[in-house]
Amino acid sequence: MATTASAVMSQVMSPRPLPEANRPVVPSAVLGTLIFVVAEVMFFVGMISAFTISRAGAPAGTWPVPGQPTLPAEATALNTVALVLSGLLLLVGQVLFAKKQAAAKWLVLAAWGLGVAFVGLQGREWSQLLSAGLTMTSSRLGAFFYLIVGMHGLHAIGALVALGLAALQLLRDRLEGGLFFGAQVFWYFVVLMWPIIYARVYF
């Protein structure tokens, strides 16, 4: 009993901070999102791998399928620039957020806006391709295109929801680091995955 009391007293009197056993090395939201992102990267790698092998195995003159529209690589370059710029703005926003500067909220909002623009431009492109006759069942290119780019679009929408929530909390000055960093990890995954998909599928 005396030993316990003495241990408690020495802790109370000690100027050293108590061990923060519950303080995680990285926020749980970040670690959870990272594990999710690792799984999702493999999901996309699997699809791109299947696409590459299918395309390499296509007999001469059948890729792209004659009579089917080609993918608008030049027009999609604008979407790509918007998305990459969004990632860069978020990166700068994160640095300013860490320094507790007010400009961080506007950069995060701008990054979110560019992300929304990317999804909107992708939607317009899909609508044009569908009306030109490229559908999921019209050719292997169509099937792979809508599957890979569509899944990326779904991830982009999910990440935009998370980033939008973070931006909303940032505007109200109630943002917690965990949500913001988790949304960031998700958004960086969407941003970094896109140039690989663009280079592989569109050209």
Partner 1 sequence: MLTTLACSVCGAGQDGTEWAYLAMTGVVSLTPLAMIGGVAFWLYRASKRREAEDAARAEALDPRVAPTSLR
Q: What are phi and psi of 87, to 5 degrees?
A: -65, -40
Distance CA 164, CA 105 (A): 11
C-alpha to C-alpha distance for 113 and 100, rounded to whole angstroms: 22
On whether the CB atoms of residues 183 and 159 are closer than 8 A, the answer is yes
Residue type (1 letter), 165: L
- Pair of tokens at residue 126: 């899909």
5 near partner 1, judged by CB under 8 A? no
The letter for the amino acid at 170 is L
Binding positions for partner 1, 45-104, rule CB under 8 A: 45-46, 49-50, 52-57, 59, 61-62
Give residue 51's Cα distance to chain centre: 21
Instruction: Mark the segment that binds partner 1 (CB under 8 A) among 38-46, 89-97, 131-139, 159-167.
Output: 38-46
Name the residue nearer to partner 1 (CB basis): 2 or 13.
13
- The smaller minimum CB distance to partner 1, of residues 92 and 140, is found at 140
Q: Does 123 bind partner 1 (CB under 8 A)?
A: no
Residue closer to partner 1 by CB (options 49, 70) is 49
* # residues contacting partner 1 (CB under 8 A): 24
Tokens representing 142 are: 């169509």
- CA nearest to 167, candidates 115, 129, 118: 115
- Contact code string over 7-36 relative to partner 1, x by CB under 8 A: -------xxxx--x----xx-------x--
Contacting positions for partner 1 (CB under 8 A): 14-17, 20, 25-26, 34, 38, 41-42, 45-46, 49-50, 52-57, 59, 61-62
